Structure 1
Amino acid sequence: MKEIKRDTILAEIEKTDYILITTHNKLSLPIIRRIYKKIINGIKFDDIKVCDNCIIDGHHRFVSSILAGLKLDEAKSSKTSATIEYKWKSVAFVEEEWDTPEKIQRLNELDAEFNNIPLEKIIEFTS
């Protein structure tokens, strides 16, 4: 597995033709790493929600898919008056874990159900 850190992410985003604009100025590296491991092991995810090339929902999935060399499907969404666009170079990629163990467990259960595979496989991929 490639080392996933800020420089790696920005380099991969710069290389890809699949560019979406971020509306978050901070993302969690542990979440990106977890999703990346799932994607490279064939786990499918919900579409990224996008409006006018801006990511509305799915920033961690988007970054993880770019690192894995895949393009996730997009679903149309809408902006609000609070939506702010950021340059990827200004995003803080933090080592802070935003998900609780309970949330990680629930997301793993949902991914197993969505992909019709045993939960143990999901846990194996992310360990």
Structure 2
Amino acid sequence: MKKIPPDMVKALIDQGIELHATQNGVSIPVINRIYLKMKGGMRFSDILVTNGYICNGHHRYIASLLAEVPIGRSQGITALPDIVHWESVKLDPNNWDTKDKIKMLNEQDAKFNNTEYENIAHLLI
């Protein structure tokens, strides 16, 4: 499967998306890993939303839109967060996760999807 380039993420943001951002940046490699897993049929936990603002799940939300795979939404447990316009969110080309964290996330995703770790890791090749 093909990876998502930063300009594709920017184009998605520029066309306008439903939920509002509350963080100043996202990592393109993190979005790509989630995107590849979603396209491979993996499910993810709900994103947390308060009054149309993402409290937790910016990367999952963007990946789900790009993969055209719906993601669940649950009520966020927080005060109304700071508003950040998507146009000002930095699309960071750097990987925010270490190799150990990626392994841990893949293990969690395998458990959540009731599958073997190798099935998750295979999607990221």
Give your verdict on TM over 0.5.
Answer: yes
Q: 1:105 to 1:3 in 2, by over 3 A?
A: closer
- Cα displacement (A) at 1:3: 4.9
Asked if 2 retains the 8 angstrom alpha-carbon contact of 1:29 and 1:94, the reply is: yes
Aligned-pair RMSD on alpha carbons?
Answer: 1.7
3-state DSSP class of the match of 1:75?
A: strand
Q: CA deviation at 1:70?
A: 1.9
- What is the aligned-residue identity percentage? 38
Instruction: Give the equivalent residue in structure 2 for 1:110.
Output: 108
**Deviation string, structure 1 residues 11-50 (Cα, Å, up to 9, x no partner):** 234557x610000111100000000000000100000000
Gaps of 5+ in 1: none
Q: Structure 2 CA distance, aligned partners of 1:75 and 1:14?
A: 25
CA contact (8 A) 1:13 1:19 kept: no
Distance 2:57 2:63 in 1: 10
Report the CA distance between 1:7 and its aligned residue: 2.6
**Structure 2 counterpart of 1:9, one-letter code:** V
Alignment pair present for 1:124 and 2:122: yes
Corresponding residue SS for 2:87:
helix
- Compute the displacement of 1:71 (Å): 2.0
Mapping for residues 1-127 of structure 1, pairs under 5 Å: 1-15=1-15, 19-80=18-79, 83-127=81-125
Moved over 6 A (4+): none
Aligned-pair distance for 1:4? 2.1
| CA-CA distance at 1:77 after TM superposition | 0.9
Structure 2 CA distance for aligned equivalents of residues 51 and 39 of structure 1: 24
TM-score, normalised by the number of residues in structure 1: 0.89
| Of 99-108 and 70-79, the range deviating more from structure 2 | 70-79
Aligned residues: 125
Tell me, yes or no, if the aligned pair for 1:10 and 1:88 is still in contact at 8 Å.
Answer: no
